[in-house]
Chains A and B, each alone.
Chain A
Amino acid sequence: MDKNSPSLETHVASIRMKNPVMTASGTFGYGNEYADFIDLNQLGATVVKGITNVPWPGNPMQRIAETPSGMLNAIGLQNVGVDNFIEKKLPYLRNFEIPVIVNICGERLEEYEEVTEKLDGTHGVAAIELNISCPNLHCGGMSFGVDSKLTHQLVNAVREKTALPLLVKLSPNVTDITVIASAAADAGADGLSVINTLLGMAIDIKTRRPMLENVTGGLSGPAIKPIALRMVWQIYNTVKIPIIGMGGIMTRDDAIEFFIAGASAVAVGTANFVNPRAPLDIIDGIREYLEQNGITSIGALVGSLQT
């Protein structure tokens, strides 16, 4: 690479990434699914589908619905469980040089602890992303992330089980996200993933039935980008730990907005469903933007909003 080309290298806590673009949990499987389209080594990092202590079957159909500039999902965290993940999915990801961040979830605090203990010290796991924001579980998930005391308690408990970098994925379904962000930071989080999906619903007016069997689901896609951006900006001005911005990032320009608002890195989610090369296109686009604007490193862009 040209010696004068801008540096895309980023650190989120102690996670070193050669560029600031990751793939968001639940939108990129366990990596191998995209092998025909993407060289995983070109990503900044990948966050794998949410993992629980035992395999979860997930919710009944219908699980997804398209909405204007977005989609609703109520998958219900169908996953292979932590043991199968370590045995069957992680070996493939070890073939690559990028950090693998494991998103974990549970219904009870003890389940989060159990999964963390199994991942701690497992070769190939670079960090843990604590999912306290899944809107599709009847208990656990988001119920932790909408209460600052529960957030503090959970982050604190998991913090004691691992020395791995600990990211906390926040729910936007709260009155003041800075309160939850502060609670997570105080309890020892190393970084914050902002945001998970917004709780929404859609109705089939012919049948008067909900479009999702679960009735409600999580809204993602371009429709939520302005909200995600606002929350990144609010948290950047409140909490001092790094932010990974996500929510409706489809293009380079979307990603650049998040850096300016204060994100140290970004995650591409729903865009992967539409364009399997989206993360790579965005990485190329960021480099081009920095060059065009004479910015020498991505770090110089972070939080550079002019107000």
Chain B
Amino acid sequence: MQPYISDQPKKFDLVTKILANEQVAQDHYLLRCVCPEIAEGALPGQFVHVLISFESAMLLRRPFTIYSVEGDQITILYQLIGAGTEVLSHLSCGDLLHVMGPLGNSFRIPPNLDPAIVVGGGAGIASLMLHAAALRKLGVRTLGLVGSVNAARLLTVVDLEGIDVETHISTDDGSVGHHGFVTEVLTQILEQPQVHELHNPAIYACGPHGMLRAVAKISRTYRVPTQLAMENRMGCAMGVCLGCVCKIRTPDGGFEYQRVCTEGPVFDSEDIVW
């Protein structure tokens, strides 16, 4: 499988003004800002590390996947999950942010991929949008499995359909789409390879830990190569604090802790020790 490019691009730390910061679903916001150098180098799966508050009380930056790139602008799609995102959601147009990026590795595309199956749980779909867009530009048929708690929190479906991704919705409460988990939809699709024309499929997934673990199990059962975008609490995002690690299998049968910010966030599903 090939990365989009072989080397990690140069990193930048930019001070930028917020252009838009709008609620797009219950507890979810889309933030847009001008980051020319980051927009130029950004690859699908990569993230930015954002300093939200200039007060030391909330010390650390927060990592967010790059949701889209348009010209010299990037957007991030985030969920309210704690004090940091709460403060972020109250920022307005013109407020300043420090945005560092692009960071981390990117998704890889195997030769003759057909189709790509992107599986997002909750805000996890944000990590897959840029990849889906790149795949569609390459002419790769793409299925989008979008899972959500309920219809009010459903994300990105319009964006995915806008680039001709065949979307399958699931909600925990059944308020829209399949009533149940997104992983159940994934199993249904993999059960019917002829119906869905799964010639040479690969799975790309991001979401809650339990969902990714379930995706890893399913992909092993159906022998479909799978890449997972992992998330973790992050300190520096520069690879020095070793705070954001993920347990990764080593060839000798053991394991090592690799950095989500540097060796990741994208890992081969088979390499992850759960």
Contacts and interface: CB of A to CB of B under 8 A. Distances in A.
Interface of A: 26-29, 33-34, 36-37, 49, 57-58, 60-66, 68-71, 73, 75, 78, 221-222, 250, 270, 272-277
Interface stretch (B9-17, B131-139, B152-160, B188-196): B9-17
Identify the interface centre among A71, A221, A250: most chain B CB within 10 Å of its CB. Answer: A71
A71 B235 CA distance: 9
Contacts of A37: 11, 13
A69 B243 contact: no
Interface stretch (B27-35, B54-62, B67-75, B86-94): B54-62
B256 interface: yes
B241 A75 contact: yes
- Describe B's contact surface by its main secondary structure: loop
User: Is chain A's binding surface mostly helix, strand, loop or mixed?
Assistant: loop
A58 B13 contact: no
A210 to B, nearest CB: 13
Contacts of B10: 36
Contacts of B255: 57
B100 interface: yes
Given A27-B241, A221-B59, A274-B60, A65 B11 contact: no
A221 B240 contact: no
Given A250-B56, A274-B61, A63 B245 contact: yes
A58 B232 CA distance: 16
Given A36-B10, A276-B100, A68 B241 contact: no
A272 B56 contact: no
25 contacts: A26-B240, A26-B241, A27-B236, A33-B240, A34-B238, A36-B11, A36-B12, A57-B257, A58-B242, A58-B245, A58-B257, A61-B257, A62-B233, A63-B233, A63-B242, A63-B243, A64-B233, A64-B234, A64-B243, A66-B60, A221-B56, A270-B59, A272-B238, A273-B60, A274-B59
Contact of A69 (B11, B59, B247): B59
A49 B56 CA distance: 24
Contacts of A65: 233
A54 B13 CA distance: 35
B240 A71 contact: no
B177 interface: no
Interface string B1-43: 0000000001111000000000000000000000000000000
A29 B56 contact: no
A73 B13 contact: no
Nearest to B239: A33
Contact of B232 (A36, A57, A61, A68): A61
A219 B61 CA distance: 17
Contacts of A273: 60-61, 235-236, 238, 240-241
B263 to A, nearest CB: 13
B51 interface: yes
A277 B236 CA distance: 13
Contacts of A29: 238-240
A231 to B, nearest CB: 20
Contacts of B13: 37, 275-277
A272 B12 contact: no
A200 to B, nearest CB: 14
B243 A75 contact: yes
B186 interface: no
Contact of A78 (B60, B98, B232, B257): B257
A71 B232 contact: no
Given A66-B233, A70-B59, 4 more contacts: A66-B60, A221-B59, A222-B56, A272-B236
Given A66-B60, A68-B57, A28 B240 contact: yes
Given A36-B12, A273-B235, A222 B240 contact: no
| Most A CB within 10 A of own CB, among B61, B235, B257 | B235
Among A66, A272, A273, max chain B CB count under 10 A is at A273
B246 interface: yes
Contacts of B232: 61-62
B30 to A, nearest CB: 24
B246 A61 contact: yes
Contacts of B51: 274-275
Contact of B247 (A34, A61, A274): A61
A71 B60 contact: yes
Contacts of B243: 63-64, 73, 75
Contacts of A57: 255-257
B73 to A, nearest CB: 21
A273 B256 CA distance: 23
B140 to A, nearest CB: 32
A71 B13 CA distance: 22
A78 B239 CA distance: 12
Interface string B238-272: 11111111110000000111000000000000000
Nearest to B262: A33
A64 B235 contact: yes
Nearest to B8: A36
A79 B255 CA distance: 14
A68 B60 CA distance: 10
- The CB with the most chain B CB atoms within 10 A, among A69, A78, A274, A277, is that of A274
A93 to B, nearest CB: 14
A33 B238 contact: yes
Nearest to B55: A69
